[in-house]
Chain A
Amino acid sequence: MAAIPGGADHAHDHAHDHPSGIMRWVTTTNHKDIGSMYLWFSFAMFIVGGIMAMVIRAELFEPGLQVVDPDRFNQMTTLHGLIMVFGAIMPAFVGFANWMIPLMIGASDMAFARMNNWSFWLLPPAAILLTTSLLVPGGAAASGWTLYPPLTVQMGMGMDMAIFAVHILGISSIMGSINIVTTILNMRAPGMTLMKMPLFCWTWLITAYLVIAVMPVLAGAVTMILTDRHFGTSFFNAAGGGDPVLYQHIFWFFGHPEVYIIAIPAFGVVSQVIPAFSRKPLFGYASMVYATSSIAILSFIVWAHHMYTVGMPVAGQLYFMFATMLIAIPTGVKVFNWVATMWRGSLSFETPMLFSIGFLFLFTLGGFSGLVLSMTAVDVQLHDSYYVVAHFHYVMVAGALFSAYAGAYYWLPKWTGHMYDEKLGKLHFWLSLVFFNMTFFVQHFLGLAGMPRRIPDYALQFAEFNMISSIGAFGFGLSQLVFLVVVLKCLKGGEKASAKPWDGAEGLEWTVPSPAPHHTFETPPIIK
């Protein structure tokens, strides 16, 4: 595929203006450094958000109030959501994008290397705003991550900190996405046509488009909350002619595409991993591209399915129900394509493949429960219940997180130059799989039985399932530390990885040595 592998032959070094120590990381313009920082940051935030989840599950371990008071509990659910969505999952996939897209398309770096650094370094200030808001008078935002008024118009300064954190995260992700779109559209190596790109690049092209389209809408929504709070406007105040439901419309116009901003790069990673360990090209590449694009476009016209119980005309409910169900078609195309890729393949089950297959089963299950929720008549019963919590954790954790793990194990040899510990990796997978289902599968039953979400206490009949779920959650939380051990071990040493450690892997990233040298493809390879 590639004529010129970049890398080790670069005699000329750029050391003359390269700071060392901490300043190397603060000032770097290298996509690999920035990708690594994104990945580490996202893992740190994953731990922070995970500790909040542990607090939630500890409180729900048995009925009654034991661990935190209700207001803190609500702050935990809010920050857990905001941190996991904006601090953990999104930066994880931006980290993959930074590391892998230039390697996959044969570019020397991202299109705007300095701005790339800024996209990353805006994340820590936002994280500081979010986490320190727990310490200010009145505590952090306690409205749920959706930040619905009128609650959000009433809360203390922690709410303002959350609003500004969202603004900064928005600036970061818009800049990051403009960078990614520009890199993909403008910096492909000669001969790398769009339809020859690895699917991961395609999924990021579409995701970045979604980010640029909807993050500004969220910025508008939280700005209106801010002015309602402090400057006497009436956007969400019925007495002044506004409507709290207006916020829900604007928020979910952002929020539904946001779901795909998280899911689509996950599809991309899985679409790289499954062919590699099936030793077959991806089945239906073109249909994957069209299906992903369809999902992205449909995501703009289904938002009110998050709001069936808000008081919508029946015609509106029917429209949003059918439009939502349409999404199952392109999603089904993707699932069938992954299965068809494995069909009669020469399969092997290393950790990345295990996580991908875990993704395939559990994400599909989350998709099915989504179909259940898309039906208005059913949703009226299940709305804001634990069924919804179970549904989106199947999509977010078993979907996005499992796929991120698949990608991390798949590319760790390329990043570190060492093979990770396969035994520990498999242990990580199986522990995660079992404890994940223990945590979230029972929540379907809790929701069907009527347990509402976002409450610190519950009726006695929910006790057993909640205890099972909490034990599962503690187990899941602890199992993630195995991953940290794997990564640290892999960084320190281990079996040397060859340029292409997976015999079925395809793509330009496997033509450069492992670990990938600091600068790659300074002159582009020729793609035939």
Chain B
Amino acid sequence: MSSHTPQQAPYYYVPAPSTYPITGSLALFLFAMGSVLWMNKFSAGPFVLGAGLLVLFYMMYSWFGTVAHESEGGLYSKRVGMSFRWSMGWFIFSEVMFFAAFFGALFYARVLSIPDLAGLESQALLWPDATAAWPNAGPGYDGSPFTPMGAWGIPAINTMLLLMSGVTLTWAHHGLLHNNRGQLKLGLLMTIALGVVFLGFQIYEYMHAYSELNVKLTTGVFGSIFYLLTGFHGFHVTIGATMLIVILCRVLAGHFTPENHFGFEAVAWYWHFVDVVWLLLFVVVYWI
């Protein structure tokens, strides 16, 4: 619980000068430089990258901690809460557009580039054996044959897991709304567990794909799109699960009231968004 005495919130809380942003800039600079160095085989790369991540985690921990503290201290008026709502919505919209680029690449490959490469012109001039079947690793693929992932094994289980996690999260939200903290904690815990199991299955699936199915990042455009779409989704599940864990910790610390709990809601929005991305992914990457 906060050490602040709840007070009359100012009309609109404007925070005092802060060193969090410049710390974050330093973190991202180190992260970017470290990545560049690593990818170009400089031995310092991983260390610079690691330092960037450490600074980033420190910054996020302190910054979000301060925000939670300010919120519990009653500094945020209704209007500030409305700002959080608007901004979370727009942030999720930007994430939608990020995934749109990769879904666009998938549709482009399936509808345009693969059929084009198997067209008469390309067959006559470049690749006589090109086929238009999907999944396709491209006419120049020279690796050993691969087997695409079936939809009705692990991916279907994962779909069920994420759908269930949406239900448990809503159940937790109802617990919060009716001030039933036990239900809230249990619901959050179940949601986190479902997310972690999902991630476990996803890692198992990747290992299976690499060792037995021969589907790799280098398996032509199919492998590229498969790993980047599911990989970025998995990364978002990781972020979502981390945020849920933070929310659970805050719940255990006594944060949130039935009236005032947008931190919880924002994470729930994010979780449902990640869920919807998965459904689309399940249909167009694994199933059809």
Contact = CB atoms under 8 A, between A and B. Distances in A.
B277 to A, nearest CB: 13
Interface in A476-507: none
Contact of A168 (B11, B32, B40, B114): B32
Mostly helix, strand, loop or mixed at chain B's interface? helix
Interface string B75-96: 0000100110011001101110
Given A182-B90, A216-B95, A235-B224, A224 B19 contact: no
A185 B86 contact: yes
Contact of A164 (B36, B137, B139, B224): B36
Interface in B109-133: 109, 112-114, 116-117
A121 B22 contact: yes
Interface in A208-264: 212-217, 219-221, 223-224, 226-235, 237-243, 245-246, 249-250, 253
Mostly helix, strand, loop or mixed at chain A's interface? helix
A113 interface: yes
A241 B221 contact: yes
B94 to A, nearest CB: 5
Nearest to B28: A168
B17 A17 contact: yes
A490 to B, nearest CB: 26
Contacts of B63: 114
Contacts of B263: none
Interface residues of B, number: 65
A522 to B, nearest CB: 7
B28 A246 contact: no
A19 interface: yes
Interface in A131-179: 156-157, 160-161, 164-165, 167-168, 171, 174, 177-179
Interface stretch (A22-30, A48-56, A392-400, A459-467): A22-30
A117 B86 contact: no
A124 interface: yes
Contacts of B86: 111, 181-182, 185-186
13 contacts: A19-B17, A108-B14, A125-B29, A161-B32, A161-B36, A165-B32, A177-B90, A186-B86, A232-B216, A234-B137, A238-B117, A240-B221, A240-B224
Interface of A: 14, 17-19, 23-24, 26-29, 107-109, 111-115, 117-118, 120-122, 124-125, 128-129, 156-157, 160-161, 164-165, 167-168, 171, 174, 177-179, 181-182, 185-187, 212-217, 219-221, 223-224, 226-235, 237-243, 245-246, 249-250, 253, 522-524
Interface of B: 11-12, 14-22, 24-26, 28-29, 32-33, 35-36, 39-40, 63, 79, 82-83, 86-87, 90-91, 93-95, 97-102, 104-105, 108-109, 112-114, 116-117, 136-141, 216-218, 220-225, 227-228
